[in-house]
Amino acid sequence: MKALVAMSGGVDSSVAAALMLEQGHDVVGVTLKQWEGPGGALPTAGCCTVGDAEDARRAAAQLDIPYYVLDYVDEFRHAVVDRFGEQYAAGRTPNPCIECNRKVRFRALLERTAELGCEILVTGHHARITHDDDGWHLRTATDPDKDQSYVLHMLDQTALAQVRLPVGEMSKTDVREHARRLGLRTADKPDSQDLCFVGHGDYRDFLREHFPDVAGPGDIVDTDGTVVGTHAGTVDFTIGQR
């Protein structure tokens, strides 16, 4: 089968591509450009950076597979970043990674899977997909410490039937060891934990820069309407926080 592999530049997606090759599939690698720095370049900090794209390109070259970078900056800005600001303005704490998977990443990747003549979409997520008489099911990963099934909960039956998660059956240690055996440069690359559009900075600084009306100061008022203090911005807090 022809497989489109979403390559983030990390070890998991690099090994996912390698595993599909080892299983005899015809593999094409892609990276989605979802955010940009000054001048339209890829950002230099966080995840989804120019360094990540270069790591993905190198892994694809080592595996001798075609590789493309696809521009989805506008879609990501409207569907994820703008909503990020809107949710904070409404007093909620959003999960932009969920929104990205729901509205941008998987929609874009599944569309491109068909456009590029591929039959299946492969990612490096740590989760499993099974099938029985009741249909397709999303399962937790073999490695519970790395499970990412929660960020894939929006995948419907059509998507689940088309998606493959080859590292979901492996521990993170085994994934890294497999990468080392193949000589992949991503073998010891740390896992990314940053929001791709925030980088290594603080999300509150990002909100104050891009959504100043959302992140401004205000009064702290008790239930009787008495002003008891001031705050630097409601983005510093979330409902239920102690």
Task: Give the pLDDT score at 235.
Answer: 82
| Amino acid at the residue 16 | A
Higher pLDDT, 151 or 39: 151
pLDDT-based confidence at 43, cuts 50/70/90? low
Query: What does the pLDDT average to over 51-69?
Result: 94
CB 106 within 8 A of CB 159: yes
Catalytic residue among 47, 48, 100, 118: 100
Mean pLDDT of 19-27: 98
**pLDDT in the model for residue 27:** 98
- Which DSSP state fits 69? E
For 95: left if phi > 0, alpha if psi spans -120 to 50, otherwise beta; the answer is beta
pLDDT given at position 44: 54
State the Cα–Cα distance between residues 48 and 54, nearest whole angstrom: 10
**Residue pair 10/52 in contact by the 8 Å Cβ criterion:** yes
Q: Kindly state the percentage of the chain with pLDDT values over 90.
A: 65
pLDDT given at position 185? 92
Q: Is 196 one of the catalytic residues? A: yes
What local confidence, expressed as pLDDT, does residue 237 receive?
Answer: 81
pLDDT-based confidence at 107, cuts 50/70/90? very high
Tell me the per-residue pLDDT of 174-232, one tens digit each, with 9 for 90 and over.
Answer: 999 999 999 999 999 988 766 778 866 788 888 888 888 877 788 999 999 999 999 88
Average pLDDT in the chain: 90
Tell me the pLDDT band of 89, cut-offs 50, 70 and 90.
confident
Asked whether the predicted pLDDT for residue 40 surpasses 70, the reply is no
Running DSSP on this structure, what letter comes out for residue 143? Answer: S
Q: Quick one: CA torsion of 21, 24, 28, 33, rounded to 10 degrees?
A: -50
Q: Is the pLDDT of residue 11 over 90?
A: yes
pTM for the complete prediction?
Answer: 0.86
State the pLDDT confidence band at 41, using cuts at 50, 70 and 90.
Answer: low
**CATH topology classification for 2-182:** Rossmann fold (3.40.50)
Quick one: DSSP state of residue 129?
Answer: E
pLDDT of residue 90: 85
